[in-house]
Amino acid sequence: MTTLIVTLTESEARALAQACDAMKMPTHEAVAHEAIRILLRTLGLQSKGRPIGYRKPAQGRDARGAR
């Protein structure tokens, strides 16, 4: 088990709570998603803003076979 300690300013905590309410997502889940995203980016496992395993849509010649 891993423990993650996150320190937020009061305004950051308020903004996070509002965003979570809007998305109907529990706050702890949103914090975990963000922490994982930052960790992956830090480790160089995420490039160009796309998550690992993301496949770019086929283009050109490759797109014909995909239809």
Q: How far apart are CA 34 and CA 40, in angstroms?
A: 10
Assigned domain for 27 exists: yes
State which residues form the domain around 19: 8-48
Neighbouring residues of 46: CB distance < 8 A, sequence distance ≥ 6: 37, 40, 52
Assigned domain for 65 exists: no
C-beta atoms surrounding 6 within 10 Å: 12
Closest CA to 4 of 29, 25, 21, 41: 29
**pLDDT tens track for 32-67:** 877 777 777 777 766 555 555 556 666 666 555 555
Kindly report the pTM of this predicted structure.
0.44
Counted domains in the chain = 1
**pLDDT tens track for 12-37:** 888 888 888 888 888 888 888 777 77
How far out from the chain centre does Cα 64 lie?
31
Assigned domain for 53 exists: no
